[in-house]
Structure 1
Amino acid sequence: MRNPLPTISQFRYWNAPIFTFRPAHSEVHASPSKSGCIDSSDASISPHSQIQVTRGPHVPKVLGLDDIKLDGLKILYRADLNLPVHPSTKEFLDDKRIRSIIPTLQKLESSSVTILAHQSRPGRFDFTNLQRHANRLSQLLGRPVDFVPDVCGPSATAAIDSMQPGDVLMLDNVRLHPDENLLKGEIEEQESSDIIQNLESHFDIFVNDAFGAAHRSSPSLTGFTRKLPSVAGGLMKREIDALSIAVENPPRPYVALLGGAKADDSLRVAINLLERNIVDTVAFLGVVGNFMLMADGIDIGKSNADFAKSQVEPFVDETSKMAKNILSNYREKVILPEDLAIELNGSREPLSIQQLPTPHPIYDVGLSTLMGLRPIVMGASCVLWNGPASYFEKQNFAFGTIEVLNMCIETDATTIIGGGHTSALVEARGAANRVTHNSSGGGATLTMLSGGRMPVIEALERSFEASQSILGERGLLV
Structure 2
Amino acid sequence: MCYRDSLSPHTLGIFSVSDIDISSKKVLLRLDLNSPIDPKSKRISDDSRIRAHAESVKLLLDRGAAVAILAHQGRPGDSDFTTLEEHGERLSKYVGQHIEYIGDIIGPHAIRTISLLKPGEAVLLENVRFLAEEMIEAPPEDQGSRIYVRRLSKLFDLYVNDAFGASHRSQPSIVGFPVVMRGAAGPLMIRELTEISRAFSEENRPRVFVLGGAKIPDTVRIIKNIASRKAADKILLTGLVSLVYHMALGTDLGPDNKSFLVSRGYDKLLEEVRATTKLGVEIVLPKDYRVLRGDVVDNTCISSLNMGGRALDIGEETIEEFSNIIRSAGAIVMRGPAGYIEDMRFRAGTEALLRSALEARARVIIGGGHLGSMIPGDYDRSRILISTGGGALLTLLSGEDLPAIEALKISAKRWW
TM-score normalized with structure 1 length: 0.71
Helix, strand or coil: the match of 2:177? coil
Alpha-carbon distance in structure 1 between the residues aligned to 2:303 and 2:58? 57
Counterpart for residue 231 of structure 2: 278
Counterpart for residue 406 of structure 2: 458
C-alpha spacing 1:345/1:181, structure 2 compared with 1 (3 Å)? closer
More deviation in 120-129 or 363-372?
Answer: 120-129
Of 315, 326, 333, which residue of structure 1 is paired with 2:276? 326
Alpha-carbon distance in structure 2 between the residues aligned to 1:95 and 1:368? 33
More deviation in 335-344 or 194-203?
Answer: 194-203
Counterpart for residue 13 of structure 1: none
Partner AA of 2:230 in structure 1 = N
How far did 1:466 drift? Answer: 4.5
Of 75, 93, 101, which residue of structure 2 is paired with 1:139? 93
Partner AA of 1:100 in structure 2 = A
- Work out whether residues 342 and 360 of structure 1, in 8 Å CA contact, stay in contact via their aligned partners in 2: yes
Partner AA of 2:174 in structure 1 = L
Deviations 1:362-415 (A, max 9, x none): 333333333233332122111111222233334343222111011111111111
Alpha-carbon distance in structure 1 between the residues aligned to 2:135 and 2:244? 37
Alpha-carbon distance in structure 1 between the residues aligned to 2:86 and 2:312? 39
Q: How many residues align?
A: 409
1:78-477 alignment runs, 5 A limit? 78-82=30-34, 91-108=43-60, 109-119=62-72, 133-146=87-100, 151-152=105-106, 156=110, 159-174=113-128, 180-181=133-134, 185=138, 187-193=140-146, 195-242=148-195, 251-311=204-264, 313=265, 315-317=266-268, 319-330=269-280, 333-343=282-292, 346-353=295-302, 355=304, 357-426=306-375, 429-430=376-377, 436-441=384-389, 443-445=391-393, 447-448=395-396, 454-466=402-414, 470=416
> What runs of 5+ residues in structure 1 fail to find an aligned partner?
1-51, 471-478
Partner AA of 1:464 in structure 2 = A
Helix, strand or coil: the match of 2:178? coil
C-alpha spacing 1:136/1:282, structure 2 compared with 1 (3 Å)? closer
Higher gyration radius (CA): 1
More deviation in 287-296 or 186-195?
Answer: 186-195
Deviations 1:390-442 (A, max 9, x none): 3333434322211101111111111112233333444xx54776662223235
Partner AA of 2:385 in structure 1 = H
Helix, strand or coil: the match of 1:165? coil
Deviations 1:71-94 (A, max 9, x none): 443322122345566788765555
C-alpha spacing 1:430/1:61, structure 2 compared with 1 (3 Å)? same
- Work out whether residues 243 and 448 of structure 1, in 8 Å CA contact, stay in contact via their aligned partners in 2: no
- Work out whether residues 312 and 339 of structure 2, in 8 Å CA contact, stay in contact via their aligned partners in 1: yes
> What runs of 5+ residues in structure 2 fail to find an aligned partner?
none
Helix, strand or coil: the match of 2:280? helix
TM-score normalized with structure 2 length: 0.80
Partner AA of 1:413 in structure 2 = A
C-alpha spacing 1:221/1:398, structure 2 compared with 1 (3 Å)? closer
C-alpha spacing 1:296/1:198, structure 2 compared with 1 (3 Å)? closer
Deviations 1:232-273 (A, max 9, x none): 112223344455678896832101112234544333222211
Partner AA of 2:273 in structure 1 = A
More deviation in 270-279 or 207-216?
Answer: 207-216
Alpha-carbon distance in structure 1 between the residues aligned to 2:309 and 2:86? 45
Helix, strand or coil: the match of 1:53? helix
C-alpha spacing 1:244/1:302, structure 2 compared with 1 (3 Å)? farther
- Work out whether residues 115 and 169 of structure 1, in 8 Å CA contact, stay in contact via their aligned partners in 2: yes
Alpha-carbon distance in structure 1 between the residues aligned to 2:128 and 2:293? 50
More deviation in 408-417 or 71-80?
Answer: 71-80
How far did 1:189 drift? Answer: 4.8
Alpha-carbon distance in structure 2 between the residues aligned to 1:325 and 1:66? 44
Alpha-carbon distance in structure 1 between the residues aligned to 2:130 and 2:249? 48
